[in-house]
Structure 1
Amino acid sequence: MNIKDETNNALITLKKGGLILYPTDTVWGIGCDATNAIAVEKVFKLKQRSDDKSLICLVSDFKMLNEFIEDVPEVAYDILKYAAKPTSIIYDDPIRIAENIIAKDNTLAMRVVKDDFCKTLIRKFRKPIVSTSANISGTPTPRTYSEIDPLILEGVDYVVNLHRDKKNGKPSAIIKLGNDGSVKVIRK
């Protein structure tokens, strides 16, 4: 399979409200349309995760980030520009996103991806996609495709056939930015 075919197959699944298993710029992830509450609910169910735990969304670029966050603090652009590793930022006041993905304090973690496959997929989809590690809640994050639990593999609608031999990186750094100018490192 090539990137074009895999992108198209994943797009078809996302548009139907299905779940994909895909390689991200960090770890293998379970993804869905971040604007579709029913799809988001399927992710929580598959991971056996409480829906009060938040998920990360991936966007293709700063333009898309601004379409789904009410007011992106200026410091976010500097953090993302100079970050040495993939960095997710928790923002206040997400908009046009499924309600069940937004944390109780009206925040949402988003990451601007650098990975070519993810960037292409999200750009063509024209909406953010959910990214959560491909594991059952409470179990270790798989370091390789071969370590992914069969329940996860069977529970998604499409498995992207790229980078299956690649060893995963670490989960992204997470930084919380408040509209009040506060900055807090959640995960290095």
Structure 2
Amino acid sequence: MDPTTLTTERLLMRPFAPEDADAVHTACQDPEIQRWTVVPSPYTRADAELFTGKLCPEGWHDGSMYNFAVLRREDAQLVGALGVNNRYLPGTYEVGYWTAKEHRGAGYTTEALAEAARWAFTALAADRVEWRTEIGNTASRSVALRAGFRMEGDQRSALFNKGVRRDTWNGALLPADLGLPGTHTYLPAPGVSGGL
């Protein structure tokens, strides 16, 4: 897919580029980002250069991951990162995100996540966008809930992070949750919201 730029009321979301390496490196020095995400720890300048200059462009090119630099429209300051990753299941994508420390609590990531999900449903023909985080990451869970994700439970040993298997909270968003049509017919099980 050709690189795409998205906009919201307050944000510009564009593919990462090599010139973002300094801002990404600075943001990823935060112990909370290193603790709760799969970024390397310690996070080096070479890690930021690899991410912005190689992994992100290749992901857009081969359709494996679409990573957005989330910037404030007013001053182009990096707010965070948001990725939409192909799960290699038809119509299923997974989202992941981090927010720079100084921008937490302003609702930017919720705004970006809602826009990215809408984009996945319309541009990528997604029928399901999944979210997961290690149990205990209440900030990430709050963002997902505010963006409309429905919690679907816990999974044991579902995340491998820095050499350790960890339990996760899991949620998903469907096109119908945003009033959008799905690509394929969805038949909910009896007793599930929307089922018979």
TM-score by length of 1: 0.26
Q: Which one has the bigger strand percentage?
A: 2
TM-score by length of 2: 0.26
